[in-house]
Amino acid sequence: MRSKDTSPSNELSMRVMRLLSLASEHGDQHLAEVERDLVQMDVLLDEAIKKLCASFMAIHRVADLQQEVLDGLLADCPAASGHAARFAALRGELDRHIGTAVTGLQFQDMTSQLIGRMALHLAGMRDVFGTLDVNGSVPPESGTEALLVALGSVSDRVALRFSELEGVVRSTVNQRHMESGDIELF
Amino acid sequence: MSKTILAVDDSGSLRQMLSFSLKAAGYGVIEAVDGQDALSKAKQHQVDLVLTDQNMPGMDGLSLIKALRGMKNYQKVPILMLTTESGDDMKARGRAAGANGWLVKPFDPARLTEVVKKLIG
């Protein structure tokens, strides 16, 4: 019967493999949770913006109808004409708020792009964690050399995954000014 | 007869806001969900201006511009990019592809219609 190799180098190999395996398992588990939360966040944000857009359109339709009624009243009732300037000023104010709301409703698009970007990074990181586990490829007690070969292979795979990720992920959303963006005509 | 604008964006809320703003200014609007959809709609209807996002699944904005500029009836049609991208490098690529202007999101409806009016009346 082969005796158990308790040399320090073998002990180190076992510990490194165990550490990589734990990092792989727990890393993937936690990132999967974050991924699920991000998906749910995107769903909630999308639902919120759909409801806000629908309300915005309905409010706008009602405001237009109100304006039609007011225009009719002003035309039919000369006594009310003294209020015409006030009504026009209120309509102008309403239009400015509508413009601001249209700008505000676009922030979901940018947020959603960022969430998509984060999801791609997370998926990439989960792949990386998946490559860390060398338990299956290095038999226990096979010695430091086998472990070194396996670690070299892990390093190559990790480098490859990161490089693949670079090519897939969109550029970030850098907006700092919360007003409307720049316009440039060529 | 009102001028028609092709509004291209993969975000439904963005398309809705674009459509709302441009229709309020008196333009007709055709919506497309990505570059491929836009190309197909541009072939079906001759539009007067194209307003496109850059980052979309499938065909992106720059590829769409190149494809449109390759079509005889879209060589002179104004094309504007409306995107979150604001880097000089991307703008230069847009210009080289044939874009006539670059608008960074979010857009202000009054400023957007001002630019559109300047280009197509």
Strands B79-83 and B49-52: parallel
Largest interatomic CA distance in chain B: 38
Structure tokens at A90: 């209120």
Give the 3-state secondary structure of residue A174. coil
Are B83 and B61 contacting, i.e. CB atoms less than 8 angstroms apart?
yes
pLDDT mean by block of 10 residues, chain B; 121 residues: 92 91 94 95 95 91 95 94 86 93 90 93 87
Q: What is the ipTM of this complex?
A: 0.81
Domain residue extents for chain B: 4-45+62-105
Give domain B4-45+62-105's CATH number out of 3.40.50.2300, 3.20.20.70, 3.40.50.11540, 3.40.50.280: 3.40.50.2300
What's the gap in Å between the CA of B120 and the closest CA on chain A? 13
Measured CB to CB, residues of chain B less than 8 Å from chain A are 9, 11-14, 16-17, 20-21, 55, 84-87, 90-91, 95, 99-111, 115, 118-119
> What is the end-to-end Cα distance of chain B in Å, rounded?
12
Instruction: Give counts: helices (H), strands (E), chain B.
Output: 5, 5
pLDDT, tens digit, for every residue of A4-53? Answer: 566 777 777 778 878 888 888 888 899 999 999 999 999 999 899 999 99
- Partners of A171 on chain B (C-beta within 8 Å) are 55, 85, 87, 90
Q: Which amino acid is at A142?
A: S
pLDDT of amino acid A108: 86
Structure tokens at B69: 């500029």
Find all residues with CB under 8 Å of A42, minimum gap 6, and list them: A112, A115, A116
Cα–Cα distance, A125 to A161 (Å, whole number): 9
Cα–Cα distance, B27 to B111 (Å, whole number): 15
What stretches in chain A show pLDDT beneath 70?
A: 1-6, 135-143, 167-171, 173-178
pLDDT of amino acid B22: 96
Name the nearest CA neighbour of B18 among B46, B48, B60, B50. Answer: B50
pLDDT of amino acid A131: 80
pLDDT of amino acid A6: 66
Are B65 and B97 contacting, i.e. CB atoms less than 8 angstroms apart?
yes
pLDDT of amino acid A138: 65
Are B4 and B48 contacting, i.e. CB atoms less than 8 angstroms apart?
yes
Name the nearest CA neighbour of B16 among A111, A67, A108. Answer: A108
Measured CB to CB, residues of chain A less than 8 Å from chain B are 49-50, 53, 57, 60, 98-99, 102-110, 112-113, 170-171, 173-175, 179-186
Taking the CB of residue A166, how many other CB atoms lie within 10 A of it?
Answer: 9
pLDDT of amino acid B46: 95
What's the gap in Å between the CA of B86 and the closest CA on chain A? 8
Give the 3-state secondary structure of residue A145. helix
